[in-house]
Amino acid sequence: MNFVLLDIALLIIFLVVSGFFLYRNRANLKKEGWFLLYKTSWGVKLIDRIGKKYQRTLKIASYISIILGVILVVLVFIMMIQTVYLYLTTAIAETIRAPPIMPLIPYFPQIFNIQSIFPPFYFIYFIIAILIVATTHEFFHGIFAARYKVKIKSTGFAFLKYFPAFFGAFVEQDDNQMKKKTKFEQMSILSAGVFANVLMVLIFGIIFILFFKVAFVASGVSFDSYAYNFVDLTNITEVNGINVTNFSIAGIGLLMNEKGFNQIKSNGDYLLSKSDFEKQNLTIAQYNKVLIYYDSPAIKQNLSGLIYSINGIKINSREKLSEELNKYSPGEKVVITTLNGEGNHLDKEVTLGKNPQTEKAWLGVGFLSRETKGIKGIIAKSFEFFKKPNVYYTPRSVLSQFIFDLLWWIVLINFAVALFNMLPLGMLDGGRFFYLGILSVTKSEKFAEKSFKFMTYFWLTIILVLMVKWVFVFFF
**What are 282-306's pLDDT values in tens digits?**
888 888 888 899 988 988 888 877 8
Which residues pair with residue 345 across a beta bridge? Answer: 339
Q: What is the tens place of the pLDDT at every residue in 156-192?
A: 888 888 788 777 888 888 889 998 999 999 999 999 9
Question: Which residues are within 8 A (CB) of 215 and not within 5 positions of it... i.e. 6 or more apart?
Answer: 395, 396, 397, 400, 403, 404
pLDDT per residue of the chain (476 residues) written in tens, 0 to 9: 577 888 888 888 888 888 888 888 887 788 887 888 888 777 888 899 999 899 999 999 999 999 999 999 999 888 888 888 888 887 776 777 777 777 778 888 888 888 878 888 999 999 999 889 999 999 999 999 999 999 988 888 888 887 887 778 888 888 899 989 999 999 999 999 999 999 999 999 999 999 998 999 888 888 888 888 899 988 999 999 999 988 888 889 899 998 889 999 988 889 999 988 988 888 888 888 888 999 889 888 888 778 889 998 998 888 898 899 889 999 999 999 988 766 678 888 999 988 888 888 889 887 776 555 555 555 555 555 667 778 888 899 989 999 999 999 999 999 999 999 999 888 889 999 999 999 999 999 999 999 999 999 998 888 888 888 888 777 76
Which pLDDT score is estimated for 142? Answer: 93
Q: Hey, what domains does the chain have and what are their CATH numbers?
A: 2-102+119-214+399-471 (no CATH), 228-295 (no CATH), 303-365 (2.30.42.10)
pLDDT reported for residue 433: 94
How far apart CA 338 and CA 330 sit, in angstroms, is: 21
369: Cα within 13 Å, side-chain hemisphere = 5
Q: Which of 42, 68, 69, 54 is nearest to 147 (CA)?
A: 54
End-to-end CA distance of the chain: 32
The pTM (predicted TM-score) of the whole model is: 0.81
> What pLDDT is recorded for position 288?
85
Predicted local confidence at residue 38, as pLDDT: 84
pLDDT of res. 201: 95
